[in-house]
Amino acid sequence: MQATYKKYILDFKRPSGTSRGVLTQKETWFLILEEEGRYGIGECGILRGLSIDNVREYEDTLTWTCSNIHLGKDGLWEALRNFPSIQFGVEQAFLSLSSKNPFELFPSEFTSGACCIPINGLIWMGDEAFMNEQIEQKLKEGFQCIKMKIGAIDFEKEVAILKSIRNNFSKEQIELRVDANGAFSKTDALEKLKVLSELELHSIEQPIKQGNISEMSDLCAQTPLDIALDEELIGIFDVPEKEKLLQSIHPHYIILKPSLVGGFKGSTEWIQLAEKLNIEWWITSALESNIGLNAIAQWTFTLKNSLPQGLGTGSLFTNNLESPLTVSEGTLSYDPHKTWKTNLIKELCI
């Protein structure tokens, strides 16, 4: 078996704002396996300023992974515990190599086109006009769950935007989620959660910065609005430590990005612990190309989670790889009549 990797830069169609800054590009690496004329592909992608494996030796670790591919999927996963995005790429690549179709990792009613996955429509931070423009577009596109990133503009303006949606659509018609990405201060977070709760939101992701365990625990105990942990899960690799975190904070939800928490295996560990503690969860992509998004979507469908998932990021880029994934009426589907370019993996190797 031979293994190689190739870097690929994804370009956003328009700058996308978060509380950590504005994104114009996204780096990713494709891990490609070849054995007896068969190919497998996996995606290793990092988010600058967020991924725990955003370190100088990242490409050196990819080189080491390719040189030690003989260790196999499980052996490499253990050796790469500090590099969750590479763990995820390794999992995908081995599954792809062993599949009849290198892009169909989890055959199901999803890949046959018979079923789809409900997803949220993502509203990026920006000025008030831009955020309203996005909301109108998502509503026209048939989304029944909207997730809005907050924390970049004046809080009162963000509340006004949310209020305008709620004035026109009840919580039964449109589910509203917000993601603060840790933007609230520890001193005013609870008061802001009280204001937001009056708008009958579904939940808020990561109201304060990760690492403030005691404060987050207090918030979860007192909040009138359900809290979901996202960034809080990053960098915790051992199962006992994962369980300790969930027991300490006891959030209402956890949100799992396989690229950030150790791929399918790392995500499954979190899911099993959450269900043991009666904590709900959903899956979100981390701005992967359609290679990684395809793998996440196929795996997510097998989990049979009825909540809207965060898998609608494939259309954000000008140079994404064409795929059978289609977003329509607030769902993600896989059109088996659309095929991947059969020589795509070979092209990426060049």
Q: In angstroms, rounded to a whole number, what is the distance separating the alpha carbons of residues 231 and 261?
A: 10
Of 114, 71, 107, the C-alpha closest to 90 is: 71
Q: In angstroms, rounded to a whole number, what is the distance separating the alpha carbons of residues 257 and 248?
A: 21
The number of helices, as runs of H, and strands, as runs of E, in the chain is 12, 13
Of 230, 244, 161, 221, the C-alpha closest to 196 is: 161
Q: In angstroms, rounded to a whole number, what is the distance separating the alpha carbons of residues 236 and 280?
A: 19
C-alpha distance from residue 231 to each of 50, 69, 179, 188 (Å):
8, 30, 11, 20
Token couple for 310: 């965060």
Among this protein's residues, is 138 annotated catalytic? no
Query: Which one from 73, 209, 242, 257 is the annotated catalytic residue?
Result: 257
SS3 312: coil
Token couple for 315: 């259309």
Q: In angstroms, rounded to a whole number, what is the distance separating the alpha carbons of residues 270 and 276?
A: 10
The helix (run of H) or strand (run of E) holding residue 34 is strand 21-35
Q: Give the ranges where the chain is alpha helix by DSSP (H).
A: 58-67, 72-79, 84-98, 128-140, 155-168, 189-197, 213-222, 239-249, 258-261, 263-276, 290-303, 344-349
Q: In angstroms, rounded to a whole number, what is the distance separating the alpha carbons of residues 42 and 263?
A: 11
Among this protein's residues, is 209 annotated catalytic? no
Token couple for 316: 């954000």
Query: Which one from 147, 149, 192, 209 is the annotated catalytic residue?
Result: 149
Catalytic residues, by residue number, are: 149, 257
